[in-house]
Structures are given as structure tokens and as C-alpha cells.
């Protein structure tokens, strides 16, 4: 009997610690619930990431990991994100009026740049961490557009120029089909004439060289004919590509102007 009482006495400190731990968790959840009922978004943000809040808002590094109980609400992050998004997006709408948000699932938000036609997906909004997660490619394009603006160029200026030059070359192939046909006719006549030549042994090398030159030229013209046959289709594809690039430049220009207007 005495041994049993001694064992109970030994357990009391751990029971006290357990009771304290449970009390802290209950208090944490009650505080979070009250903040939710009161519409106190600031305190909710502090409770779901106390360490970061203390470091970035209070400028303190004294918070210990043991005091961070945010893992208790890991399973309701989506609901918390949805709730907190209302005031956050209203604030962001005033600070960054060129961004628009689409809730694709509870608490998950895509960011679009602008409300104009053919607007682009620009990234995601991380509500709980109050952070933009921009698409690297789209962000890079916009950044480059600002850099080129100082040189009075657009993002796709060089690409469009290169495609336009290629289309001009293809059009030249189409335009000179008759000239190529006449040149081929003349080369075939030369080829026939060369093949009928009776040469002395010391002239054979020269004749072979002449014959090979004619063959090489005919091969080149045949390649140009083949390119000309597909030129119209390629030019149409190039025109479509130029249109896409021009539209992209227009959208980038809208984005750039929207930022400049609101900075």
C-alpha cells in the first residue's frame, strides 16, 4: 500500500506538466477562436506563425519553438486562408490595383495581371504567409520589358524582326521561281553539252570539275524549289507567330503602364 502511494507521488510532476501543456493548447485555441469571432486578423496571423510575426513585426527573436502551437490548426489552413483572404485582398486591391485574384479552391488563389482581354496568369497568392508567388517566366518577361523600355524597344522586337526577315527571304524564293526555272533549263543544256564532249586525258579533270559545278548548282536550285513549295505555308505560320508576339507585347505594355500609373 505504501509503495502504491509513493508511485503516485512520483507521477505528480509529470501530471502537472501534462496538465500545463493541455492548458496551453486549450488557451491557444480559445484565443484563436476569439480572434476569429472578433474579426481580429492581426492576432490570427500572429497565432498561426508566432515566430515569424515576432521576428518581422515585433522585430524580436526571443520566441522559442515550444511556444509555437500553430501546428494545432494545420488541418484548417484552407479555411483560415479563405477567411483571411477577404481583408487581405481588399488591402492588396488598394496597394496593387493591377492584380486580380481568383479562388480556384478553398483558400487557394491565382493572381492575374489586369482585368483586360487575354490577361495572363501571373502567379499565386499565399494568404497565410502574406506572399506573392510569381511565375518566374512571366515575371522575367515583365522585368525585361521595363529594361527595354529605356531603349524604346518592346520585349519581342528582335524576335519579330528575325521572323519578318525570314518571311521576306521565303517570299523572294516564291518571286524568283521563273528565274530559277530558266536557270535550270540553261544548266541542263550545259550538262548535256559537257557530257558529249570528247576530251583528251589531260582535260578530263577539268571536264569533271565543270560537270560537278553544274550538278551542285542544280542541287541548290532544287533545294530552293522545295523551300518555295512550302514557303506560303511557312509565311502564314510566321504571320501567326508575329501576331502572337505582338499581342504579348501589347499585354506587357498594359502591365507596364499599370505599374507606372500606380507607383
Quote the percentage of the chain above a pLDDT of 70: 86
What pTM does this model have? Answer: 0.71
- Write the pLDDT tens digit of every residue in 59-70: 876 655 556 788
Q: All 3 cell numbers of residue 248?
A: 504579348
- Give the mean model confidence (pLDDT) for residues 71-100: 94
Residues 6+ away with beta carbon under 8 Å from 190: 214
pLDDT over 80 at 221, yes or no:
no
CA distance 127 to 130: 5
pLDDT over 70 at 119, yes or no:
yes
Label residue 2 by pLDDT band (50, 70, 90).
very low
CA distance 203 to 194: 12
CA distance 14 to 176: 96
Amino acid at each position: 500500500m505504501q509503495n502504491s502511494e509513493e508511485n503516485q507521488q512520483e507521477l505528480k510532476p509529470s501530471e502537472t506538466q501534462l496538465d500545463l501543456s493541455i492548458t496551453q493548447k486549450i488557451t491557444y485555441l480559445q484565443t484563436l477562436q476569439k480572434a476569429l469571432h472578433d474579426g481580429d486578423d492581426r492576432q490570427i496571423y500572429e497565432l498561426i506563425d508566432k515566430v515569424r510575426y515576432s521576428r518581422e513585426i515585433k522585430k524580436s527573436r526571443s520566441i522559442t519553438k515550444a511556444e509555437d502551437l500553430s501546428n494545432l490548426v494545420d488541418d484548417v489552413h484552407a479555411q483560415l486562408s479563405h477567411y483571411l483572404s477577404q481583408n487581405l485582398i481588399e488591402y492588396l486591391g488598394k496597394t496593387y490595383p493591377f492584380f486580380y485574384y481568383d479562388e480556384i479552391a478553398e483558400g487557394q488563389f491565382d493572381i492575374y495581371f489586369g482585368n483586360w482581354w487575354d490577361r495572363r496568369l501571373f502567379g499565386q497568392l499565399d494568404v497565410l504567409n502574406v506572399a506573392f508567388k510569381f511565375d518566374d517566366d512571366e515575371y522575367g518577361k515583365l522585368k525585361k520589358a521595363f529594361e527595354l523600355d529605356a531603349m524604346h524597344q518592346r520585349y519581342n522586337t528582335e524576335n519579330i524582326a528575325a521572323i519578318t526577315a525570314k518571311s521576306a527571304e521565303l517570299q523572294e524564293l516564291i518571286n524568283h521561281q521563273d528565274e530559277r526555272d530558266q536557270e535550270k533549263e540553261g544548266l541542263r543544256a550545259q550538262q548535256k553539252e559537257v557530257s558529249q564532249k570528247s576530251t583528251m586525258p589531260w582535260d578530263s579533270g577539268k571536264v569533271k570539275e565543270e560537270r560537278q559545278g553544274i550538278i551542285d548548282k542544280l542541287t541548290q536550285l532544287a533545294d530552293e524549289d522545295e523551300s518555295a513549295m512550302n514557303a506560303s505555308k511557312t509565311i502564314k505560320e510566321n504571320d501567326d507567330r508575329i501576331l502572337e508576339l505582338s499581342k504579348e507585347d501589347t499585354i506587357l505594355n498594359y502591365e507596364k503602364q499599370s505599374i507606372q500609373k500606380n507607383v
